[in-house]
Structure 1
Amino acid sequence: MLKQRVITAVIMLIILGAAMLAPVRWPLLAIFVVMSSLACWEWERLSLSLEQQRWAWPLALLNGALMLWLSVYWYDTGPQGQAADLVYRALVPLVAALWVLGATGLVLQGQASQRAQGVLLSVMGVLAPLVAWASLYLFLHTQGIIYVLSLLVLIWVADIAAYFAGRAFGKAKLAPRVSPGKTWAGAIGGMVAAALWMVISANWPGSFAADVLQRGGWVATAALGVALAALSIVGDLFESLLKRRAAVKDSSQLLPGHGGVYDRIDALLPVAPVALLLSGTWLF
């Protein structure tokens, strides 16, 4: 299992890295279209009732069509104009609010005994992956690859630190009804590590933290690291809630050794739109 997991991770990193370094943007946009639609399909399979499962693929295709529309538009014009305004000025704040208020509320409620249903949850399953990938593309197009990588590393650092801090010091459970393995020690460790990463990476020109530092100072930079790490935990717990309600271990088996696409990006989905709202990119 570990060997399979490592091989899959290496292949994914090579493909994504090659697309990000390519002299043209269409390979990366193509990856974003596929990843967004697959994550949407997995989300809908977890959230829809068994009688509604037939809608998972149509909703995923809708997500892919919206992402493809944005990709084609942006490939020719860049992230500006009417198409960008739709995502940039309307959907990003909406999805960010749904994560901060709606998803956090559901996680705190911790109702894991029945499968999730509801129109709003299904709509969010379409919009959340779309806005996350669109946010990353906007960052890449306007700020560059260092900016995007530094934000992704923030999520990875928080996740790794949370794992080891939880293993070493974890006793008090963070959300036992949703994810019994998560502890307060792990959450605090992840947030501290994220704050440290923000402070360290702020010294590198072109990074996400350097952008925040320029506009907000050191305290705001570290505090934002804490906030985004907390949001990444919400994203992780929210998917755990959906999976527990659906009585499954993984969102799918599309990625050998890793589960599904949603399993790999659950922390990214809430972080990307909120980071976009709080970045200099939002001001262009």
Structure 2
Amino acid sequence: MLKQRIITALLLMAVLLPALFYPSSEPFVLLSLLLMVAGGWEWARLNACAPTMAKAVGLGLGLALLAFWLLGGLEQTWRPVWLVSSLVWVGLAVVMLRRGVAGWSAWPAAIRLGLGLLLLACAWLALVQARQLGVGFLLSVLSLVWMADIAAYAGGRAFGRRKLAPTLSPGKSWEGVVSGLAGVLLLGLGWRWFDGQQLTDQPSLFTRLQTLGELVSWLAVIGLTAMSVVGDLLESLVKRSAGMKDSSQLLPGHGGVLDRVDALLPVLPLAMMLVTL
């Protein structure tokens, strides 16, 4: 399993990094579109769509986003979208984590499917426009989520005692959450120091947030870290409702696309909202 995970990760990096660092954003946008097709297909499967229908949903999402791109949508400012999608994510966190699996299953299938596709589209738009703000900015957002996950895993393994959400994700603990937050705060200090060396003209998320004031900027970082946990837990809730361990097996050793990006889905629009106030 570990060997398979490493091989898959290396192959993904071999595709992702050239697209990410290419001088123009087009290759990255195209690659992200393909990921959204896969994500839409997985989401349809998690919401009980038949195999053919699930493929049609994924392809339809990809074509809709492609049309949006070709019609110039990526060149516009979408502050209201960031605000609305962020509020929806916060609302889902409050409502669904309280109601649990049964509460999610009680929603009409069409609403569950449509809401998820809209949130995927918003996350894609935020991802692409984050890349347009600069590779450094996008990497800082990605690294926040990665650090929260890695530090939480390490801290949970070492100190975990109190379960965070035992019915949704038994491996997560409050100690892990605190460890993840500590890791992100240290990461933020590191990004600020790096930006201060003026080695790049692309300020990170953490430096951009600093313009809001010290207290507000660190509260924003805490909020972003919390939402990365929310994204993970909500996907776990949906998978349990569907009776699936992984969203798919597209990425051997890692599960599906949604399994890899679940924590990013709420963080991306929230980060864009904060830096475009």
Matched position secondary structure for 1:49: coil
Distance 1:109 1:228 in 2: 23
Structure 1 residue 250 corresponds to structure 2 residue 246: yes
Counterparts of 1:234-249 in structure 2 under 5 Å?
Answer: 234-249=230-245
Structure 1 residue 155 corresponds to structure 2 residue 145: yes
Distance 2:95 2:86 in 1: 13
Moved over 4 A (4+): 112-117
Structure 1 residue 231 corresponds to structure 2 residue 233: no
Alpha-carbon deviation of 1:224?
Answer: 1.7
Give the equivalent residue in structure 1 for 2:129. 138
Residue type of the alignment partner of 2:245: K
Give the equivalent residue in structure 2 for 1:176. 166
Alpha-carbon deviation of 1:66?
Answer: 2.2
Alpha-carbon deviation of 1:71?
Answer: 2.6
Render the CA deviation track for 1:182-224: whole Å, top value 9, x for unaligned.
11111111122222222321233311111111x2233222222
Give the equivalent residue in structure 2 for 1:79. 74
The 1:117–1:55 alpha-carbon spacing in structure 2 relative to 1, beyond 3 Å, is farther
Distance 1:167 1:187 in 2: 11
Residue type of the alignment partner of 2:113: S
Give the equivalent residue in structure 2 for 1:49. 48
Contact in 2 for aligned 1:110/1:241 (Cα 8 Å) = yes
Out of 204, 207, 214, the position equivalent to 1:207 is 204
The 1:248–1:224 alpha-carbon spacing in structure 2 relative to 1, beyond 3 Å, is same
Counterparts of 1:119-138 in structure 2 under 5 Å?
Answer: 119-138=110-129
Judge which range, 228-237 or 54-63, deviates more.
54-63
Residue type of the alignment partner of 1:190: G
Render the CA deviation track for 1:214-252: whole Å, top value 9, x for unaligned.
x22332222222111110100000111111111111100
Give the gaps of 5 or more residues in structure 1. Answer: none
Distance 1:53 1:90 in 2: 35
Residue type of the alignment partner of 1:95: S
Judge which range, 28-37 or 261-270, deviates more.
28-37
Give the gaps of 5 or more residues in structure 2. Answer: 196-202
Give the equivalent residue in structure 2 for 1:62. 60
Q: Could you tell me the TM-score, scaled by structure 2's length? A: 0.89
Out of 181, 188, 193, the position equivalent to 1:198 is 188
Distance 1:94 1:10 in 2: 36
Distance 1:274 1:123 in 2: 20
**Identity fraction in percent:** 38
Q: Could you tell me the TM-score, scaled by structure 1's length? A: 0.87
Distance 2:65 2:150 in 1: 30
Alpha-carbon deviation of 1:114?
Answer: 7.8
Alpha-carbon deviation of 1:53?
Answer: 6.2
Contact in 1 for aligned 2:79/2:273 (Cα 8 Å) = no
